[in-house]
Amino acid sequence: MTTEPTVIGGRYELGELLGRGGMAEVRQARDTRLGRTVAVKRLRTDLASDATFQARFRREAQSSASLNHPAIVSVYDTGEEMATDGSDVAQPYIVMERVQGRTLRDILREGRKILPERALEITSDVLAALDYSHRAGIIHRDIKPGNVMLTPSGDVKVMDFGIARAVSDASSTMTQTAAVVGTAQYLSPEQARGETVDSRSDVYSTGCLLYELLTGRPPFVGDSPVAVAYQHVRETPAPPSDHDDQLDPEIDAIVLKSLAKRVEDRYQSAAAMRADIERYLAGHPIQAGPPPLPLDDPAPTSTQFIPAQTATGMAAAGAVPPPSDHSGGRNRTGLMFLIGFLVVAVIAGAAYVLPGLFEDPVEREQVPALIGMTQNEARAAIRDAGLSVGTVSRQTSDSVPVDQVLEQTPNRDLYVDPGTAVDFTLSSGMPEVEVPFVVGQPKDSASNVLESNDLKVKFKTEESDEPKDEVIRTEPASGQRVAEGTTVTLVISAGPKEIPNVVGMRQGEAEKAIRAAGFEVEIVETAETTEPKKTVIRQIPESGTADQGDTITLFVSIYVPPVETPTETPLPTETPVPTETPLPTETPLPTETPSPRRR
């Protein structure tokens, strides 16, 4: 006996299980309406009744649905369906693009070697997706190998915005233990401390991802997530070249800059890190320098990495050897005096020389948050911050109202030089689509075509000679470009009209009924009937359907009953007396004609 497939949303037939995560499972499904394969993520039934998990799951749908980028898994639909396991809870679900391929986690677990150039290319694509999401105001918060897929063609797809949150919501710190979400091996220091995070937290996690792609292991490992999180906060990672001596110093510099403990020392955006990677791949000098030492612990410990240049500089400068145990107090006093004198001399020299070598530090300005502002408000905020207005562009958006800012560069809260240009993008409204040509199609088929193009549908019936329920035109007309979500009216045919039977009706009433049905009338008068005058005695055609405007012939009686005229009765006449018949007379004999004389 064949088991009927589970259908959710009235159109998605669930198939094989693709994966199961901490709060949801993902199954392959078939969209019966559009005939395409999709992936459906459903919240686990044991968590569906938990308001916290439901809110997080819905946030994933909202975060993912607002992003449209080739390196981000697309979201098609979302909804809720009652669970079929008897729990009677509504299971939220998300319908996503079905991506063929494997995750980086699967590839790394096989122990396969990834070439450094390929690792950098993959990371560059991940950063392109993050740069797009950051510009839209969304932080991923959980970048790791398991959330990055490679398609058979080599394309990168970033997925699972399960703990993504809008930047506008990031002002609330994650102080509770249960709220510190993310994977320990790829957690940024500020995430581990439960502090406010911004887009630079994703830069750190991407640095961890690149580290593992290059070396085959994450930057920190430990016996427990707490031990790993502690290392993210306190320890400096060994450079990737410690695990693979074939890696260039420039790669070390890129990775270690992205893994800086202080957010100010990292790349300030995903775009900046991606630009440095592209410079290296193109053979150009990179901007990343040697990582700074932690400010709160100037003395390097055994777990800290001291760059080669720093170590060399220290060796070249030399170190003052400690006094031997048998030296006298006098020697120690003289040595201390000498050291003090040298320190004072160095400080005095620096005070005299350094001002000539370096400019006075410039106070930096914080970039204001422009997302959601109108153009005038954004311009005013930029001027008030001591910055200048850069390029103002427009872009379609299905979530941001028209004429509101949807992207900005640099991102909010970064510190830049006074007068720095701030670019922003205004929403031009919903993306536009072309009204498809559906004239001549049945109304249900035409409706499906419009809905698959993100258009709404309304029906209007008109009298027409076309078959019943066939589309005769659209409003707006096909070929016009309209915003997604626009309502398109399908004008459908009411079908051929029934010919009314008017035999026996008076001529005036019959003509009115025929014209009301949409037909023309032809009157033929006939006296070949005894029906009263002006009565319809026959029609052609008699019944059935006909096209509007066709002529119906009515045969109308003109019969008038004859009126009898009364006549006088004639008087009787006398019978005449018969008379005698006269006797016949004799016929005279013919006489001879005289002959003519001869001369």
Q: Which residues are annotated as a binding site for ATP?
A: 41
Give the closest residue to 499 by CA, choosing from 433, 555, 548.
Answer: 548
Q: Yes or no: say if 373 and 384 are a contact pair by the CB < 8 Å rule.
A: no
Rounded Cα distance between 546 and 550, Å, is 7
Pick the catalytic residue: 125, 142, 160, 198?
142
What is the token pair recorded at 281?
A: 């791949």
> DSSP E strands: which ranges in 291-430?
365-366, 388-395, 405-409, 415-416, 421-427
The closest alpha carbon to 170, from 179, 183, 158, belongs to 179
Binding site: which residues?
41
Report residue 441 as tokens: 């199609």
Residue 104's alpha-carbon distances to 38, 160, 164, 167, in angstroms, are 21, 14, 20, 27
For residue 363, give every residue at least 6 positions away whose Cβ sits within 8 Å of its Cβ, in sequence order, or none. 418
What CA–CA distance (Å, rounded) separates 252 from 341?
39
3-class DSSP state for residue 26?
strand
Residues for the chain: how many in total? 599
Q: Can you give 424-458 as a three-state secondary structure string?
A: EEEECCCCEEECCCCCCCEHHHHHHHHHHCCCEEE
142 is catalytic: yes
Tokens of 335: 């040595």
3-state DSSP call for residue 362? coil
Strand 536-540 relative to strand 551-557: parallel, antiparallel, unpaired? antiparallel
The 10 Å Cβ neighbour count of residue 577 is 5
Question: Partners of 13 in the beta sheet?
Answer: 7, 30
Active site residues: 142
